[in-house]
């Protein structure tokens, strides 16, 4: 039973995630309180969420890059929504994007270790958790690893 691969199922589509993120960015602007870098922060997240859509449509990608306000970014999300409707896009058919690569890499390493009893050194072992969710074993605050890496 425990050796059955646990493949995560999609519970929210990338477009819905982008819409919810934009709503949260309106409610909690990233430039307030000294956190984030305003619109740039929002745009980066939207690029990650809509990576697949941006890959497939150069004009759409150029529009998001050129957007100067949150309202323009929301308009881009609406354009993406219209494209999904035209293409009969099915959320359940979406595959997990590169945005989850650290989490998925951890699951794959754990599965290999459980199946083989060891993990080889030549595997792509990323101990740094760039997303800051702590899932990959990384510590977004640097931890007490003895390295003077400029953490505060």
Strands (E) in 56-114, as ranges, are: none
Tokens of 141: 């605050």
Do 141 and 151 contact (CB within 8 A), yes or no? yes
Question: In this structure, are 18 and 88 located in the same domain?
Answer: yes
Segment 24-54, tens digit of pLDDT: 999 988 876 555 578 888 998 999 899 889 9
Question: In this structure, are 133 and 84 located in the same domain?
Answer: no
122 DSSP 8-state letter: T
Q: Roughly what angle, to the nearest 10 degrees, separates helices 39-49 and 70-86?
A: 10
Q: Roughly what angle, to the nearest 10 degrees, separates helices 58-66 and 70-86?
A: 160
Question: In this structure, are 89 and 28 located in the same domain?
Answer: yes
Q: What's this model's pTM, rounded to 2 decimal places?
A: 0.58
Tell which wins on pLDDT, 72 or 12: 72
Question: In this structure, are 76 and 100 located in the same domain?
Answer: no
Segment 123-146, tens digit of pLDDT: 444 343 333 444 444 433 344 444
CB atoms near residue 51 (< 10 Å): 15
* Confidence band for 148, pLDDT divided at 50, 70 and 90: very low
Average confidence score pLDDT of the chain: 72
Q: Which domain holds residue 89?
A: 14-93
Do 49 and 21 contact (CB within 8 A), yes or no? yes
Tokens of 8: 């995560």
Question: In this structure, are 74 and 129 located in the same domain?
Answer: no
């Amino acid at each position: 039973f425990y050796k059955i691969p646990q493949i995560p199922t999609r519970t929210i589509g990338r477009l819905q995630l982008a819409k919810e993120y934009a709503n949260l960015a309106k409610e909690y602007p990233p430039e307030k309180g000294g956190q984030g870098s305003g619109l740039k922060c929002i745009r980066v997240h939207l690029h990650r969420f809509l990576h697949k859509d941006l890959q497939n449509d150069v004009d759409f990608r150029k529009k998001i890059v050129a957007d100067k306000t949150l309202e323009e970014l929301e308009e881009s999300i609406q354009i993406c929504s219209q494209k999904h409707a035209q293409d009969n896009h099915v959320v359940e058919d979406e595959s997990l994007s590169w945005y989850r690569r650290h989490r998925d890499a951890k699951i794959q390493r754990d599965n290999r270790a459980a199946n083989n009893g060891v993990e080889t050194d030549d595997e792509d072992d990323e101990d740094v958790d760039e997303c800051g969710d702590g899932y990959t074993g990384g510590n977004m605050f640097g931890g007490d690893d003895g390295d003077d890496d400029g953490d505060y």
